[in-house]
Structure 1
C-alpha cells in the first residue's frame, strides 16, 4: 500500500525545504515520490523548483483554493488518479494558512484502497513560534493532529527558547514525536500512524485570508526586489515573485517571509504563467501590488538620475 504524507505549517516555516529533503531522500532510496503542492496563488512557482530532481509529470500544483476545504475534493480526486507504481509515495504540501485538523479529517475519506491512511507532519519555526499575534491560534492548530513535528530555524536559538517551544508543542500534541530537520529519516515516515490526539476547537474561517497576484515586469536590478518587499505592508504575511533582472536571460525567484526577511535565488526554467508578483495576507489587492512595483521602478529611476548627476557634475 502507498503512504500519503501531508506537510503543514505556518507561512515561511520551511515546508518546501522539508519537502525537497524528503523527495531527494526517497529518490536516493529507490522510491518513486509524487509531489502535490497547494497555494492560493500560482503554486506552479514552487512546483517548478522540484523538476530538476523529478520528472514534471510527477509534480502537481493546485492553485486558487485551499485543500483543507474548498479544494479537498480536487485534491482527493487527483490523488486517486495517481498512477500505481512500485515503491510509490505521495507527498503533499498544504498552503501556509491551512486548517490542518480539517485537512486530516476530510482527506482520508474516499481515497482508493491502495493508499494507507494519510499522516501529517508539521513544520515549526522555533524562532517565530507563537509570535504571530492574531494568527497564533492558526499556528497552534497546525500541529495538533500531526504524527511528527519537525523543528526549523533553530540556528543561534537560546536553549531556554528551544525548551520553551518544545514544551508548548508537547502540551498541544503530547503524542507527536519532535525532531530537528537533520534527524528526519525518510525510511521511517511511511510507518507513521495517523495521530489520535484530540485537537482543540478552531474557527475554520480564521484559516482563510485574501490573496492576489499581478504581472511583474523585468526589473532593472535586484534592488527593486527589496524596494517592492519593503513597500508592501507587514499585514501581508507572504510575498513571492519571479521575473528577469536586467539583461539576464535566466529568471530570479524571491520571497518575503512573515518575519520580514527577503530571500532571493535563481529560478529553474521559465515560469509557465509568466513573471508574477503575488501576496498572501490581509490587504492583498492587485492595485496595492501594482503600486509597489511602480514605486520601486520610480525609486530606481531617481537613483540612476542622482548617480548620473553626481558622476558628470562639473568642477
Structure 2
C-alpha cells in the first residue's frame, strides 16, 4: 500500500526545504515520490523548482484554493488518480495557512484502498514559534494532529529557547515525535501511525487571507528585489517573485518570509506563468504591487 505524507506549517517555516530533503532521501532509498503542492497564488512557481528531482509527470500544483476546505475534494480526487508505481509514496505540501486538523479529518475519507491512512508532519520554525501575534492560534493548530514535528531555523538559537519550544509543543501534542531535519530516517516515515491527539477547532476562515500576483518586469539589479520586499507592508506575510536580473540569461527567484528575511536563488528553467510578483496576506492588492515595482525601478534609476 502507498503511504501519504502531508507537510504542514506556518508560512516560511521551511516546508519546501523539508520536501526537497524528503524527495532526495526517498529517491535514494528506492522510492518513487509523487508530489502535490498547494498555494493560494501560483503554486506552479514552486512546482518548477522540483523538476531536477522529480519527473514533471509526478508533480501536481493545486492553485487558487485551500486544500483543507474549499480544495479538499479536488485534492482527494487527484490523489485517487495518481498512477500506481513500484514503491510509490505521495508527498503533499499544504499552503502555510492550512487548518492541519481539518485537512487530516477530510483527506482520510474517500481515498482508494491502495493508500494507507494519511499521516502528517509539521514544520516548526523555532526562532519564530508563537511570535506571530494574532496568528499564534493558527500556528499552534498546525501541530495538533501531526505524527512528527520537525524543528527548523535553529541557527543561533539558544538551548533554553529550543527547550522552551519543545516543552510547548509537547503540551499541545504529547503524541508526536519531535526531531530535527538531519535526524529523519525516511525509511521509518511510511510506518508512522496517524496521530491519536484530540484537536481543538479553529475558525479557519480567519486565516483565509487575500493573495494576488502581477507581472514582474526585468529588474536592473538585485537591489530592486530588496527594495520591493522592504516597501511591501509587514501585514503581507509572504512575498515571492521570479524575473530576469540585469543582463543575466537565467531567471532569479526570491522570497520574503514573515519575519522580513529575504532569500534569493536561481530559478529552475523559465516560469510557465511568466515572470511574476505574488503576495499572500492582508492588503495583498495588484495596485499596491504595481506601485512598489514602479518605485523600486525609479529608486534604482536615481542612484
TM-score, normalised to structure 2's length? 0.99
- 1:254 maps to 254
How does 1:1-315 map onto structure 2 within 5 Å? Answer: 1-303=1-303
Q: Highest CA radius of gyration, 1 or 2?
A: 1
User: Partners in 2 of 1:14 and 1:150 — Cα distance?
Assistant: 9
| Residue 66 of structure 1, CA deviation | 0.4
User: Partners in 2 of 1:39 and 1:201 — Cα distance?
Assistant: 22
Where does the alignment leave 5 or more consecutive residues of structure 1 unmatched? Answer: 304-315
Contact 1:138 1:206 in 2 (8 A): no
Where does the alignment leave 5 or more consecutive residues of structure 2 unmatched? Answer: none
| Residue 85 of structure 1, CA deviation | 1.1
Count of aligned pairs between the two proteins: 303
User: Partners in 2 of 1:25 and 1:73 — Cα distance?
Assistant: 30
| Residue 201 of structure 1, CA deviation | 2.3
> C-alpha deviations, 1:74-108, integer Å up to 9, x for none?
11111000001110000000000001111001001
| Residue 118 of structure 1, CA deviation | 0.3
User: Partners in 2 of 1:247 and 1:286 — Cα distance?
Assistant: 27
| Residue 248 of structure 1, CA deviation | 1.1
| Residue 53 of structure 1, CA deviation | 1.5
> C-alpha deviations, 1:15-48, integer Å up to 9, x for none?
0000000000010011100000000000011111
User: Partners in 2 of 1:162 and 1:200 — Cα distance?
Assistant: 25
Give the CA RMSD over aligned residues: 0.6
User: Partners in 2 of 1:243 and 1:201 — Cα distance?
Assistant: 40
Secondary structure of 1:253's aligned partner: strand
| Residue 205 of structure 1, CA deviation | 1.1
> C-alpha deviations, 1:89-145, integer Å up to 9, x for none?
000000000011110010011110000000000000000000000000000000000
- 1:313 maps to none
> C-alpha deviations, 1:215-262, integer Å up to 9, x for none?
000011110000000000000000000000111110000000001001
> C-alpha deviations, 1:170-218, integer Å up to 9, x for none?
0000000000111011000000000010012211212211100000000
